[in-house]
């Protein structure tokens, strides 16, 4: 076990190196840390250890606190302690906002670079855990798709789960995981520690909205933009206004919203929010399949893109004209039914049609992608007709949210070990694999005859990419076949 005084001194030194604090703050920071971890006897050790990262040092510190009985050996207790420790090195929200906007005067990119680096250095973004994720790219008919097997979120032990069940009281603070009240919140069993969490105020359409980063980023500068007001997500004209205003303020970022209905929406529909970042997805690179004109908006450049989901792309340099056009299409889609395409706008009073919008700047023009969604369930497809079908559930059966829509698969942790077994089986058929992968593995064998230790990884990765493309095709309301495209054009004529 490392010496606790050495760990504290190393953390302070790291915080100075990362410019979280100044050298003259060192004694103050050290004393704050000693108070948090309840150490009375501190010994100066001279030169602190510089080889270990901040996440490594935090783990040593929490292990020591567990061993001395300062905290219990529970995930939430350890995270609370680590966040409290890192909060010592962070300025108050007002100071961070001030510095962000000082840098914004130089350029929006400088401002976000500063805040993203701060969010990583403060251990709010869990860089060490994210590094565990498996990530690769794979070719498809729709371009290069991103595949991520999500291994970053730590598994809860049984005692943690038991405590969470016991804690299911009427606790309504913070109201949810996205509310502004999380900034600086110490945390509790069942609600994550956010002492080291900071948010940036970004006014949108005369309302208070805030920018933060995801603690478990799935791509570069994966940010969340959230409303101050507690209200459910809703896709409407105001959404297009806010999204275009955001990229006007931060033209190097894209921004989009999950759909606002269950099954086709994201995981948190209870709080109005968007996701964005500084990353180019496969969908962004997708080319126009064909152009069309909307009679009511002849100046708008409109096209359908080559993508497995049903996407209308609009371009113009006047964002207000684009807002009008996007809202017009949304209203038309909300009430659109086509029996032949199995699209029903309503079941009785229950709506099924909505849109996943994504906005970016390209060549000094605003560009809006409108992804048509429908959440209808049928007897044959009880989880959703335009949702991953049962034959792909062995890979992915969760909702297809904004990130997947754009071409980045977020796949479950179980696949890490299962794919290893599949590769072993392809090299040696006597190795057993899970029953639900059998059909897929047989189809891989039909397409590939010679498996070697040199090629098996690439083959399985390619096949996983093809399966994810199938997932996206299932979620497309108009299929990419000639028949599907003719049905798509029927809706475009309706516009």
Query: Tens digit of pLDDT for each residue in 457-478?
Result: 999 999 999 999 999 999 999 9
From the CB of residue 18, how many other CB atoms can be counted at a distance below 10 Å? 15
Whether 451 is covered by a domain: the verdict is yes
Q: Does the residue 460 lie in any domain?
A: yes
Q: Tell me how far apart the alpha carbons of residues 352 and 354 are, in angstroms, rounded to a whole number.
A: 7
pLDDT the model gives residue 127: 94
- Alpha-carbon distance values, 300 to 214, 296, 305 (Å): 34, 9, 15
Backbone φ and ψ for 375, nearest 5 degrees, come out as -110, 25
Q: Please identify every stretch of the chain with a pLDDT value under 70, giving residue numbers as ranges.
A: 1-2, 46-49, 155-161, 163-170
In a domain, 371, yes or no: no
What is residue 402's predicted lDDT score, i.e. its pLDDT?
Answer: 96
Those residues with Cβ within 8 angstroms of residue 362's Cβ, 6 or more apart along the chain or in another chain: 315
Q: What are phi and psi of 346, to 5 degrees?
A: -140, 150
- pTM for the complete prediction? 0.94
For 175, the token pair is 């109201």
Q: Could you tell me if residue 415 is inside a domain?
A: yes
**Model pLDDT for residues 104-132, shown as the tens digit of each residue:** 999 999 999 999 999 999 999 999 999 99
The per-type count for the chain, helices as H runs and strands as E runs, is: 16, 15
Q: What single DSSP character describes residue 214?
A: -
Query: Has residue 429 been placed in a domain?
Result: yes
Task: Work out whether strand 223-227 and strand 346-347 pair parallel, antiparallel, or are unpaired.
Answer: unpaired
> Residue 160's pLDDT is what?
62
**In terms of C-beta density within 10 A (0-12 exposed, 13-18 middle, 19 or more buried), how is residue 313 classed?**
buried
In a domain, 254, yes or no: no
| Sequence-distant (≥ 6) Cβ neighbours of residue 171 within 8 angstroms | 188, 191
Q: How many domains does the chain have?
A: 1
37/51 Cα distance (integer angstroms): 22
Which residue is it, tokens 């599949």? 422
Q: Is residue 292 part of a domain?
A: no
Helix (H, G, I), strand (E, B) or coil at 359: strand
The rounded distance, in Å, linking the Cα atoms of 469 and 76 is 37
- What is the pLDDT at residue 400? 92
Q: Return the C-alpha torsion angle 440, 442, 445, 446, nearest 10.
A: -100
Does residue 413 lie in a domain region? yes
pLDDT score, position 3: 87
pLDDT of the residue at 1: 42
DSSP symbol at 71 = S
| Predicted pLDDT at 389 | 94
pLDDT number for residue 157: 63
Give the residue numbers spanning the domain of 463. 409-475
């Amino acid at each position: 076990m490392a010496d606790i005084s050495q760990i504290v001194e190393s953390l302070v030194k790291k915080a100075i190196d990362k410019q979280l604090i100044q050298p003259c703050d060192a004694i103050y920071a050290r004393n704050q840390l000693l108070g948090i971890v309840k150490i009375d006897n501190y010994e100066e050790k001279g030169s602190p250890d510089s080889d270990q990262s901040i996440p490594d040092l935090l783990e040593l510190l929490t292990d020591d606190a567990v061993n001395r009985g300062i905290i219990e050996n529970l995930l939430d207790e350890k995270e609370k302690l680590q966040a409290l420790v890192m909060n010592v090195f962070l300025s108050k929200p007002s100071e961070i906002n001030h510095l962000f906007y000082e840098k914004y005067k130089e350029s929006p990119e400088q401002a976000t670079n500063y805040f993203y680096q701060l969010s990583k250095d403060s251990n709010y973004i869990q860089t060490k855990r994210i590094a565990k994720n498996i990530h690769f790219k794979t070719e498809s008919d729709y371009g290069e798709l991103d595949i991520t097997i999500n291994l970053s979120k730590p598994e809860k032990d049984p005692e943690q789960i038991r405590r969470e069940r016991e804690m299911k009281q009427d606790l309504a603070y913070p109201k949810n995981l996205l509310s502004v009240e999380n900034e600086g919140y110490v945390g509790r069993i069942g609600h994550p520690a956010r002492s080291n969490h900071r948010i940036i105020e970004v006014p949108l359409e005369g309302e208070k909205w805030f920018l933060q980063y995801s603690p478990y980023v799935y791509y570069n500068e994966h940010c969340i933009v959230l409303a101050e007001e507690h209200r459910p997500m809703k896709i409407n004209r105001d959404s297009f206004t806010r999204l275009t205003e955001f990229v006007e303020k931060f033209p190097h970022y894209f921004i989009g919203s999950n759909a606002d209905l269950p099954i086709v929406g994201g995981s948190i529909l209870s709080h109005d929010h968007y996701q964005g970042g500084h990353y180019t997805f496969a969908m962004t690179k997708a080319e126009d399949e064909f152009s069309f004109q909307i009679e009511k908006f002849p100046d708008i450049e409109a096209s359908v893109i080559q993508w497995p989901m049903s996407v209308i792309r609009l371009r113009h340099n006047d964002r207000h004209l684009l807002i009008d056009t996007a809202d017009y299409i949304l209203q038309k889609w909300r009430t659109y039914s086509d029996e032949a395409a199995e699209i029903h706008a309503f079941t009785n009073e229950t709506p099924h049609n909505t849109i996943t919008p994504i906005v970016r700047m390209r060549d000094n023009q605003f560009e809006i992608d409108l992804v048509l969604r429908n959440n209808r369930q049928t007897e044959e497809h009880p989880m959703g007709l335009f949702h991953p079908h049962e034959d792909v559930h062995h890979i992915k059966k969760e909702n297809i949210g904004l990130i997947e829509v754009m071409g980045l698969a977020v796949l479950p942790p179980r696949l890490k070990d299962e794919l290893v077994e599949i590769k072993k089986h392809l090299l040696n058929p006597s190795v057993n694999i899970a029953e639900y992968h059998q059909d897929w593995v047989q189809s891989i064998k039909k397409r590939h005859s010679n498996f070697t230790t040199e090629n098996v990884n690439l083959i399985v990765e390619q096949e996983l990419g093809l399966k994810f493309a199938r997932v996206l095709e299932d979620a497309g309301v108009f299929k990419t076949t000639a028949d599907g495209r003719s049905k798509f054009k029927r809706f475009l004529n309706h516009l």
